[in-house]
Structure 1
């Protein structure tokens, strides 16, 4: 960052990004990372904050850190609406915490192009699943697996979520609805679990990047703090608005919005 004016401009851009991300986080339970990572990558590259081969890693780490705040705001709103199935949440949170912590260390060691392709392929598959799964509702009558198996499954989803910088909703929502959990409750649970994924994933990214970047330059490991501030300054307030919208929008509409978002973000990562 060469000038103070550039830093202010970057924060403003990130604040605008955060306002949209917060609403989507509350609406879809995604934590916002699917939107933050590709757009923040462009912002960081434009302002020459990071070398080009580390931009995506920095965007992912900063995305996870922002999700810690956004998911907290969203989860509080979903809890007030009775949309967090707390009888399932502890087992799911255990799995995603373990997966996110391991992944936060591993992703920083992978080549940037590998992380980019993992992101793109993952979100395309998520979008196809949501687009082709019909209207949802608990009509498939599948039983929830044992708590041990549920923890294993969520360890995998938590690890992949942290690796690509998302809050977990993009993976947890399809997983829970597959096992007949109501869409709104699946989104509420994903919001709560996004806090855990973001916390443990961020620990991994901060620790693994601490030897490469200094706090005096605005970094906590791979997390770029000015961008984090900009995103959180608005996303905290717009997330409850999105959560409120889940009470009025039909499930089918929510799923279509969700799938369309995934396709757009995957395409952006590939062409960029």
Structure 2
């Protein structure tokens, strides 16, 4: 049975890594729904399943995003002025989201996760770009930081990485899809780092926690997923340079819709 779980976690890392590089979503769209199914099998109490799934997802995203960001930087797909402008909001939003998420019940987290995924899937597939793209990200720090705050808050709350929300937002602002993916992957690293640290801190004093956990992070799943995700994220990033914007947006929309369906059926 232990070997089966190890195989599941390793396979999850492969899919999460490819999606992180290709779509800039940090892999959380795969990790959270799958862990919500697998964690009860390994003895995690039902009331702690979603919060541990979210915390573990964010922790894996740190390593996946490092690999993905490095690849996107080499391909010149990261808009650094936008990253610097978004950073303050991302940091505080991620920490607040993790704090709120650690206090919520399973169904509430599942509803929030599914609702945002469903909304974003519709926008990504059918929405249009803003008619006047913002080019000077360095001089728009106030409202970009506000966007970063809400992105960090919601992403950390449900463990899906910043790219799930920030990628569509940057596309709406007029950024080319592959550069939106690269930039959101980089921001996802910041969200995951501050968010997962907060989940560790908030779960440190929790009583009756399962074995092999640090805070709200389940270590066997964490190590299994990152073992393969960091290897396959560069492959996903390379794939993004070969596909059209329409293909990337459609794939992102389908991934969002699938995750929304999974969460709603788990309630």
Please, what TM-score do these two structures have when normalized by structure 1? 0.93
Given the alignment of the two structures, is residue 102 of structure 1 paired with residue 93 of structure 2, yes or no? no
Q: In structure 2, how many angstroms separate the alpha carbons of the residues matched to 1:7 and 1:199?
A: 29
2:23 maps to 1:22: no
C-alpha RMSD over aligned residues: 1.6
Paired residue total? 263
Q: Which residue in the other structure is 1:3 paired with?
A: none
Aligned with residue 10 of structure 1, among 5, 9, 14: 5
Please identify runs of 4+ aligned residues in structure 1 that moved more than 6 A.
none
TM-score scaled by structure 2? 0.94
User: Is the alpha carbon distance of 1:46 and 1:29 closer, same or farther for their aligned partners in structure 2, counting shifts above 3 Å?
Assistant: same
* 1:197 CA displacement: 0.4
Which of 169, 178, 185 in structure 2 is aligned with 1:175? Answer: 169
Unaligned runs of 5+ in 1: 1-5
Distance in structure 1 (CA, Å) of the matches to 2:131 and 2:175: 10
- Partner residue in 1 for 2:31: 36
Does residue 77 of the first structure (1) align with residue 71 of the second (2)? yes
Question: What does the per-residue CA deviation read over 1:109-131, in whole Å, with 9 as the maximum and x for residues that have no partner?
Answer: 11221111000001001101101
| Equivalent runs, 1:185-196 vs 2, <5 Å | 185-196=179-190
What is the Cα deviation at residue 181 of structure 1?
1.3
Deviations 1:56-76 (A, max 9, x none): 111000000000000110000
Q: Does residue 83 of structure 2 align to residue 92 of structure 1? A: no
Return the alpha-carbon distance in structure 1 between the equivalents of residues 183 and 207 of structure 2.
Answer: 34
Per mean C-alpha deviation after superposition, the further-off stretch among 179-188 and 19-28 is: 179-188
Tell me if structure 1 keeps the 8 A contact 2:176–2:245. Answer: no
Conserved in 1, the CA contact under 8 Å of 2:92 and 2:149? yes
Which residue pairs with 1:141 in the alignment?
132
- Aligned partners of 2:207 and 2:227: how far apart in 1? 24
> How far apart, in 2, do the equivalents of 1:33 and 1:198 lie?
10
Is the contact made by 1:11 and 1:229 (CA closer than 8 Å) also made in structure 2? no
User: Could you tell me how far 1:9 is from its partner in structure 2?
Assistant: 2.8
**1:98, CA displacement in angstroms?**
1.1
Contact 1:213–1:220 (Cα < 8 Å) also in 2: no
Residue pair 2:167, 2:181 contacting (<8 A) in 1 also: yes
